[in-house]
Structure 1
Amino acid sequence: WRDDPAEVLVQRVMRRLRRGSIVLFHDTLYVADAERYRDHAPMQQALEILLSRLAGSFRFVTVPELLRLGRPVRWPIYHRLPVGFHRKLV
């Protein structure tokens, strides 16, 4: 997600979005030796687009409110990262 433009981020979220989904953007994760990862504009633009597109279709709630609506279902998504990637994070 670090090098993706806003519309790509939006499409990725829209493909995976389901009833009860929790969408989480890791806004502060970047690699210290890559200045381009410090630009949060694409993520912020994607969030604005998503909120605009979903405003009439979804009801936005807090996590406690969501948990009161039904039993959580785990839907794991895993991403493979290069060995040692975590050592570069700030």
Structure 2
Amino acid sequence: MKRLIVLLILVGAAFLWAPQVLESATGACDALEQKMVAKETNGSQLGNDLGAALVQNLSGGAIAEAAMRDRHPNLPPLVSCALEYWKSTLGME
């Protein structure tokens, strides 16, 4: 039973903190923003890429956090940002 609890804690920690490690971000919402900006600007012109990256760097995840509060009002922003990050990464949108 103890092993199951430890395993669940490790999986939960990986779910929440892996996005920021994988994206070199400050948090799950910042990682989600970076993922969405990269997805939206893929194949676009250089000027749009620079503008999108600038906006993302200035917000630091605040835009994604606000969007996730609206989308998942019953979940903390950390959890909802991580959930949406993994859904986007795994193609489950």
What band does the TM-score fall into relative to the shorter chain?
Answer: under 0.3
Taking structure 1 as the reference length, what is the TM-score of the superposition?
A: 0.24
Greater RCO between the two (CA within 8 Å, min separation 6)? Answer: 1
Higher helix residue share: 2
